[in-house]
Amino acid sequence: MFTNKSVLITGAGSGIGRAVALSFAQAGADTILTGRREATCEETADLIREATGKHPLVVACDVSREEDVSHLFSRLDAQFGALDIAFFNAGIGAAGRISEQELGDFQTVFKVNCIGLWLCMKHCLKRMEQQGSGVIVNNLSVHSMRTIFEGTAAYTASKHAALALTKSAALESAAYGVRVNGVAPGPIMTEMLVQSADTVGGVEGWASRIPQGRVGQPEEIAAAVQWLASDAASFVNGAILNVDGGFLAA
């Protein structure tokens, strides 16, 4: 399905990023894996090599640093020459009420979730617009749609900003043959979910909020990302696909 396609995944060292990377590689794509921790991306690369025999390009990158993002795309240019698909997935959270949160914690969330996304799209869109093709899928979260519960102001605000960036990029780049969409996962069984689970009564607490009665799996997000990146979604642009078990419908 994606044979001879190059796919960049940020935050590829675990969770959703790892699942997306593995799914694209299994569908024939050549993958570029990046994250702040090179070791975890190498673990993802090992899984891809074992499953497919392919050898991903692994590049350490802090998406909030433009010099890192510039280096990433230089490495990508040298090895592939073109980029067909990008899944921008890197993101962090920081719990805290607005009246109690430290400025540095708030800024750190925005540096990764908003500025980091902007930097990645900036460097990616330059290349895709020049080549006249390409697809970007951004990982946004249901928090980009509404405030879920208190104590998540920094994360929720950053994801609202990421949603606006996604739609702006779709509008700006459509004439160049580039599509930009987003996927909005609900609670997904990842390390980040487990770390935040105490605020809602554990994983079971999350599950009780979802009409389908369970949290999602990273592979279910990977399937949605693949569809958005495929030719089957060729007229889908500026859209946000909720993958949340009915969470936002409740």
Residue with tokens 């067909």: 84
CA 111 to chain centre: 15
Strand order in the sheet with 85-88: 57-60, 30-35, 6-10, 85-88, 134-139, 178-185, 240-243
In degrees and rounded to multiples of 5, residue 201 shows phi and psi of 85, 35
Q: Is residue 141 part of a domain?
A: yes
**Which candidate in 14, 64, 158, 159 is catalytic?**
159
Q: Is residue 93 part of a domain?
A: yes
**Which candidate in 14, 141, 158, 173 is catalytic?**
141
Predicted pLDDT of residue 90: 93
Q: Are strands 57-60 and 85-88 parallel, antiparallel or unpaired?
A: unpaired
Report the number of distinct structural domains present in the chain.
1
Q: Which domain holds residue 165?
A: 6-186+216-245
Q: Is residue 209 part of a domain?
A: no
Copy the structure tokens of residue 151.
């104590």
Which residue type, as a one-letter code, is found at position 203?
Answer: V
Q: Is residue 134 part of a domain?
A: yes
Predicted pLDDT of residue 2: 97
pTM: 0.95
**Is 155 known to be catalytic?**
yes
Which pLDDT tens digits describe the chain residue by residue (250 residues)? 899 999 999 999 999 999 999 999 999 999 999 999 999 999 999 999 999 999 999 999 999 999 999 999 999 999 999 999 999 999 998 888 999 999 999 999 999 999 999 999 999 999 999 999 999 999 999 989 988 778 889 999 999 999 999 999 999 999 999 999 999 999 888 776 666 656 666 677 778 889 999 989 999 999 999 999 999 999 999 999 999 999 999 8
In degrees and rounded to multiples of 5, residue 6 shows phi and psi of -105, 135
Predicted pLDDT of residue 152: 86
Q: Is residue 201 part of a domain?
A: no
**Which candidate in 23, 155, 158, 173 is catalytic?**
155
Q: Within a 13 Å sphere around the CA of 45, how many CA atoms are in the beta-carbon half?
A: 19
Q: Is residue 206 part of a domain?
A: no
Q: Which helix (H) or strand (E) holds 106?
A: helix 103-110
Other Cβ atoms closer than 10 A to 49? 13
Predicted pLDDT of residue 150: 81
Greatest Cα pair distance in the chain = 51
Angle at 102 (CA atoms; ends 97, 106), nearest 5 degrees: 80
CATH number at residue 70: 3.40.50.720
Q: Is residue 112 part of a domain?
A: yes
Q: Is residue 211 part of a domain?
A: no
**d(Cα 121, Cα 113) in Å, to the nearest integer?**
12
